[in-house]
Every structure is written in C-alpha cells, then in structure tokens.
Amino acid sequence: MADNRKYYYLKLKENYFDDDSILLLESMQDGILYSYILLKLYLKSLKHGGRLQLDESIPYTPQMIATITRQQIGTVERAIKIFLQLGLMEQMPDGAFYMSNIELLIGQSSTEGERKRRARQANRAALNPGGQMSAICPPEIEIKRELEIEKERELKKGQPAPAFGRYENVFLSDTELAELQADFPTVWQEYIERLSEYMASTGRTYKNHAATIRRWAAEDLRKANSIPSYTCEEGESL
C-alpha cells in the first residue's frame, strides 16, 4: 500500500532575512533569539494553516509556547509582544495566535509524492551522466507538479475541491469552512465574498484561502482595537 501521508515544510525566500521586520527584530537586544523563536513558531503553525494550536480546539498559550520552544516564559512573552507590534504575529478573536503571511511560507507534499520525485530525479541523472543541473527540476517545482497531479486525480474521481464566493474561486475544505463559521459566525460569508471579489479583480492568488481570511480578520480586529505602538525597553532599538 502506498504511503501517501501529508507533511508540511517551511519555504524561506532568499531575501527572508532582509525583510524590514526581520531586520528590526534582529537589531533588538536578544533579537537573534527572537528570530529563532519566530522560525520555530512558523514551523509549529504549519499544519494548522498558521494558527498556533495543539489541536483543533486548544490554542497555544504563552506558557505552552515557552515549553515547545524550550525558552523562559518571560523571553517568550517579550517575543510575542514584539511579534504583534511588528505584524509578524496576530491574535485572533478566540485568543489564538496566528503567524502573519504564513500562506507565503507553507509548502505541502506527501511521502508518496516525494518518493516519486526522487525516483524521477534519479532516472534523469542516469540519463544525463554529465550532471547538467538543468536536467533536474528544483524540488519546489516537482512538488507543485505532484500537487497538480493530485488535483487532477480528484477531479477525475468527481470530487473537485469545494469552491465558494461569487466567482467560485475561494477553495475551502469542509473542515476549514466549519472552523471559519465557528470562529466568525456573523461575518465568515462576508470575508469569503471579499476574498472572491479581490482575487477576481486583481488576478492575485493565494495558496491557503482559509489562512488569508483569518489574516484579514485579524488585521481588521487589530485596526478596530487601535493597538498602540511598541515602546522599546532599555537596550532595545527599532
């Protein structure tokens, strides 16, 4: 039987550490430690679409985050405060923490897809003993192809991914839709329509539509609450 379990990985662009937020973060006292904690939290949030939670109903608290990152609670609380102020993290209406822009960093594949990818690369290498790199596609392109193949298989089975919104371009699984309805009972449909119209009018696309809706909702909440600017502690700089 084929092993087709899903796994997730973090995709960092070449200029990730040149981003203004990361530069500001690392310029602070203990900033390198905060940057390390940030990467750990990105990884911990991957399988939940950016939300920091133990399972479907238990969000991580600062104490839990301190445990999983192996850091002191005081360090974690300071880091969370800074992440919120720099827009690297957001707090959802239910209290859960959400890692901003996670949809730009999530990669997803399967053990079976990865096995096939490595087999194809080995075959190409055998046919190209000169070792020309152009004969082998980068892993990210191969994984994207695997995902496209999986989607095609689903369509052939008559099980296309559910589409929502006026333009039927917002794709949500049954679980994702149920979670959005539970977390945003009065406005979930409004956000779906907003995303649908935005993508149709701008041509933009997102890998994880549920995560995008949560990020927009968190941004709206933050604006409504008018979160004050972060005041540097002694020894820190922005």
How does pLDDT run across 114-142, given as a tens digit for each residue?
A: 455 555 555 555 545 554 444 444 445 55
How does pLDDT run across 180-196, given as a tens digit for each residue?
A: 888 888 889 999 999 98
Q: Are residues 146 and 67 in the same domain?
A: no
For 221, the token pair is: 């909440």
Q: Are residues 95 and 151 in the same domain?
A: no
Q: Are residues 143 and 184 in the same domain?
A: no
Q: Are residues 181 and 218 in the same domain?
A: yes
Is residue 78 included in any domain, yes or no? yes
Phi and psi at residue 100, to the nearest 5°? -65, 145
Q: Is the pLDDT at 231 greater than 80, yes or no?
A: no
Residue 62's pLDDT is 93
For residue 90, list its beta bridge partners.
98
CB 208 within 8 A of CB 103: yes
What is the value of pTM for the model shown? 0.47
Q: Is the pLDDT at 74 greater than 90, yes or no?
A: yes
Q: What is the residue range of 112's domain?
A: 108-156
Please give, one letter per residue, the 3-state secondary structure of 97-148.
EEECCHHHCEEEEEHHHHHHHHHHHHHHHHHCCCCCHHHCCCHHHHHHHHHH
**What CATH number should be reported for the domain holding residue 95?**
1.10.10.10
Q: Are residues 33 and 99 in the same domain?
A: yes
When mean pLDDT is compared across 12-21, 139-148, 202-211, the lowest value belongs to 139-148
Is residue 188 included in any domain, yes or no? yes
Q: Is the pLDDT at 35 greater than 70, yes or no?
A: yes
Residue 237's pLDDT is 44
Is residue 237 included in any domain, yes or no? no
Q: Are residues 114 and 51 in the same domain?
A: no
How does pLDDT run across 159-183, given as a tens digit for each residue?
A: 556 788 888 889 888 888 888 888 8
Residue 34's pLDDT is 94
What's the number of domains the chain is made of?
A: 3
Is residue 234 included in any domain, yes or no? no
Q: Are residues 13 and 76 in the same domain?
A: yes
CA angle, 64 as apex, 109 and 20 as ends, to 5°?
65
Is residue 230 included in any domain, yes or no? no
Q: Is the pLDDT at 228 greater than 70, yes or no?
A: no
Alpha-carbon span 120 to 107, nearest angstrom: 20
Is residue 24 included in any domain, yes or no? yes
How does pLDDT run across 81-124, given as a tens digit for each residue?
A: 999 998 889 888 888 899 887 777 765 544 444 455 555 555 55
Q: Are residues 85 and 53 in the same domain?
A: yes
Alpha-carbon span 90 to 214, nearest angstrom: 10
Q: Are residues 54 and 27 in the same domain?
A: yes
Q: Are residues 189 and 215 in the same domain?
A: yes
CB 192 within 8 A of CB 164: yes
